[in-house]
Structure 1
């Protein structure tokens, strides 16, 4: 996290700061204005390559990750309120994503517009190289490139580690602390799956072929899980309705703050303990 913040601040300071700020502001407005129509876009009257390659793919991608991410976040969020959960899982990551894409994407777009680098052509031929070509246009390239490599490795390892822990939990009948060997086995399987995808691309001589195979697997695995997610949405609404208010008695609503509970009819209020009440002074006299 520290390395990511350092890289972000470095590019923001040495890069086109004003352009980045304008990009951030305009991107938020464009996102809020287009999120609803783009969510219902099916490209029925035009080319559907963008919708299938980006929108639907990333929907399927996150749906396929939902079991692992959901269980892991629930595990580390134990004891948190729903408000804290929504802020930490939805709002804060969204804001960080806006800032991250505005800084790195804005810097790259500015280089393209000013003619400092032809990143669009480079990204079409070799997409990973576009990142390092962007960093090369700014000072201390050796340092920023090293940080970028470390961040890519750390982000992949942290994601694979979380998935391994969750799969270990699921294969241990819900044990929150699965055995180390169980986690290692699932980690090896995850790394092997990634190696197979890379090997498939190397055999066919194209990285795009490996990515296409990965996209097909993600969409195929996510399709049946959509029905499970719908059931989970219904179940959480049902669970929230059945959730008791802290301090409430079964079958009776909790009293409002500052308001005394009503007494059954025909009963009197208990006497307050005071120095003037002789009954309260029992045991204190000689």
Structure 2
């Protein structure tokens, strides 16, 4: 028997909207391209300003949060520690900056702008400046500000307040219990639809470039039918990666791909004009910073031109569509970091690597076009941007090897994007549930390939771009609401910390007497001593508290774990979390001061508390029954103060009902 876990309104609502887009290509394939082109033009003409303004607001918001006192908040309980070492975390953020887009546009975009800049004279020094500045703008910190908004909302409300890891959770300060109604469902639907079309666009670019590479190297025709066959083949590989598991599949492929991509970049840097490229990098950063504010809000309102629609607004829509995917990835690896640490790293580490990549490939491509290619490279890219990378390698040594590596890199990026994307979509569709059957991720993985294939057949890359721009529009509004929600939530968080002094770690209300502590120092408790203490004194104290709470109409549960010996008292509440006071046997090695001592398995045992917010507990071994009761009441009083605090009601008043998931039994595998 196989059990499916889905949030039915979100799951089926997403499929209906995706199906409507695909129906256009299936029912009227001849008119599909015209329809998608008209849809894109209408949206950009009417709402292009909204995309640009929204991204500008996101950029300003994350910088303000990072620079303010909100930056001191933790993505998790106040005493939480990061799940990953700093260097590992940095490496994963570094890897997040890589993808199909850098391979597709690394040479193609700078050379395209050099040949057709927005305002400068083509093929001039001014055109080079505009080309690189525009490329940095499209791939720089603005893109990562978009990802940071979603990632921060997921990490902050998910890890600090135990809300489900879905987009709707980030809107709780605004919507309260409504996040579990139609509005919440709509938010998650927008996230899924945007992610599916954003991934489909990337996959479309990927197979277009793979097909162009195969045609360039071995003369294999790059037709839509061939591209669909490539999607089918690589989706099958992605499905195998899904079935084998995230660690075996995605992690190994991602790490190998990152190494090969960096080696390819270093190869171009070394065989290219190295000294000139390093000078160009410094100049490029300076130009980017100099024009940062103007580019952020520049729509060419007084001198309209299609360049903004074709490039900037498409990119902003693409990044917004991708934001649930990348945002959830960076949220999942960032628990325990401070908000400031998270934002600074997310904004500048991947963007910094991208600047180096675009300088190495983009500036080298422009230099090649100005010298040895004599304009042939820019002409080829103007005809078909997907062949730009392979044409570029023709002017460098070992072109056959580098082109083959490029095809493999794009294919593996395709696999990892599809695999990881299916996991993110499945999590949202399951109401934040991460432990779902493999068959569900396989379903989304296959659906991504189907969407990319049908849209390619219906209208090529133009159809994919139109679908992305359309799906990103409602989610742009959701992201603006996420920003407001973060400000409200963080302000309430700081207010509640000040009100109840929750910035400090939980401490026992009444300690052990000095005589009892001295006795335990002279004779450390054994595991049997701790188990017996929990079974008698702790259990009796919790039973007494339960009896009193029950008498006062506050339903309370006591749970025992026979395997670990833990016992806990739970007071259910319509809050982000229930009140939990638990005690379990904990152990740690005794201090060793010689190699001989270190080789002994000497352990110290404690009766350690634990709480529902994940805070680090403390040893209560030796407390009397009355002292334990006092400690429970103090912790319960702190909990109630946090819940009742006017500033914190926004956060701690939980939904009356958590997002429901539906379990459907099936005999299929």
Q: Which residue in the other structure is 2:492 paired with?
A: 242
In the superposition, relative to structure 1, how do residues 191 and 283 fare at CA in structure 2: closer, same or farther (>3 Å)? closer
Q: What is the CA-CA distance between 1:152 and the residue it aligns to?
A: 1.0
> Which position in structure 1 is the counterpart of 2:9?
none
Q: Indicate how the Cα distance of structure 1 residues 254 and 30 shifts in structure 2: closer, same or farther if over 3 A, else same.
A: same
1:229 equivalenced with 2:479 (yes/no): yes
Residue aligning to 2:500: 251
Find out whether 1:36 has 2:293 as its counterpart. yes
Structure 1 residues 244, 122: CA separation in 2 closer, same or farther (over 3 Å shift)? same
What are the superposed Cα offsets for residues 91-135 of structure 1, whole Å, 9 maximum, x if unpaired? 110001000000011110110111435211010112111111111
Q: Match for residue 51 of structure 1?
A: 308
Does the 8 A contact of 1:165 with 1:178 survive in 2? no
TM-score by length of 1: 0.80
| Residue of structure 2 in register with 1:195 after alignment | 453
Deviation, structure 1 residue 254: 4.8
1:142 CA displacement: 1.9
Counterpart among 179, 200, 204 of residue 437 in structure 2: 179
1:73 pairs with 330, 351, 354, which one? 330
1:279 positional shift: 12
Change (3 A) 1:281 1:56: closer
From the two aligned structures, give the one with the greater strand fraction.
2
Which is further off, 70-79 or 132-141?
70-79
Equivalence for 1:149: 407
Q: 1:230 to 1:126 in 2, by over 3 A?
A: same
Deviation at 1:221, TM superposition (A): 0.9
In structure 2, the residue corresponding to 1:243 is in which secondary structure?
helix
Q: How has the CA–CA distance of structure 1 residues 279 and 96 changed in structure 2, closer, same or farther, with 3 Å as cutoff?
A: closer
- 8 Å contact kept, 2:272–2:364: yes
One of 153, 161, 166 as aligned partner of 2:424: 166
Paired residue for 2:575? none
CA distance in 1, matches of 2:323, 2:305: 25
CA deviation vs aligned residue, 1:60-100 (integer Å, no higher than 9, x gap):
11112222322232223233332342244221100010000
Query: 1:135-175 CA distances to partner (integer Å, 9 max, x unpaired)?
Result: 11111112211211111112222222222101111122211
Shift, 1:239, TM fit: 2.4
Deviates more, 1:6-15 or 1:82-91: 82-91
Aligned residues: 255
CA gap 1:249/1:236 in 2 versus in 1, 3 angstroms: closer
Structure 1 position 38, deviation (Å) = 1.3
- The answer as to whether partners of 2:325 and 2:424 remain within 8 angstroms in 1 is yes
Q: Which residue of 1 aligns with 2:269?
A: 12
Residues 456, 464 of structure 2: 8 Å contact kept: no
Give the unaligned 5+ runs of structure 2: 1-257, 505-510, 522-669
* Alignment partners' CA distance in 1, 2:325 and 2:518: 63
Q: Which residue of 1 aligns with 2:369?
A: 112
How much does 1:280 deviate? Answer: 9.6
1:98 to 351, 355, 360: 355
Structure-2 separation of matches of 1:53 and 1:76: 34
Kept in 1: contact 2:321–2:472 (CA 8 A): yes
| Residues in 1 aligned to 2:518 and 2:410: alpha-carbon distance in whole angstroms | 73
What's 2:98 paired with? none
1:78 aligns to what SS in structure 2? coil
Residues 77, 85 of structure 1: 8 Å contact kept: yes
Corresponding residue of 2:397: 139
Return the alpha-carbon distance in structure 2 between the equivalents of residues 152 and 281 of structure 1: 66
1:282–1:232 CA distance, 2 compared to 1 (3 A)? closer
Q: 1:161-190: CA deviations, max 9, x gaps?
A: 222101111122211232211111000000
Q: How many Å separate the matches in 1 of 2:393 and 2:338?
A: 41
In 2, the alpha carbon distance for the partners of 1:13 and 1:185 equals 44
Superposition RMSD in Å: 2.8
Partner of 1:44, secondary structure, is: coil
Residue by residue over 1:190-246, the C-alpha shift from the partner in whole angstroms, topping out at 9 and shown as x without a partner, is: 011111232234xxxxxxxx222222111111111122111100111222223369x
Q: Which 4+ runs in 1 deviate beyond 6 A?
A: 278-284
Contact 2:381 2:388 in 1 (8 A): yes
Unaligned runs of 5+ in 1: 202-209, 256-269
Tell me, yes or no, if the aligned pair for 2:317 and 2:473 is still in contact at 8 Å. yes
TM-score (norm 2): 0.36
Query: Quick one: distance in 1 between partners of 2:368 and 2:316?
Result: 30
Cα–Cα, structure 1 residues 136 and 243, in superposed 2: closer, same or farther, change >3 Å?
same
Instruction: Say whether the 8 Å CA contact 1:19–1:106 is kept in structure 2.
Output: no
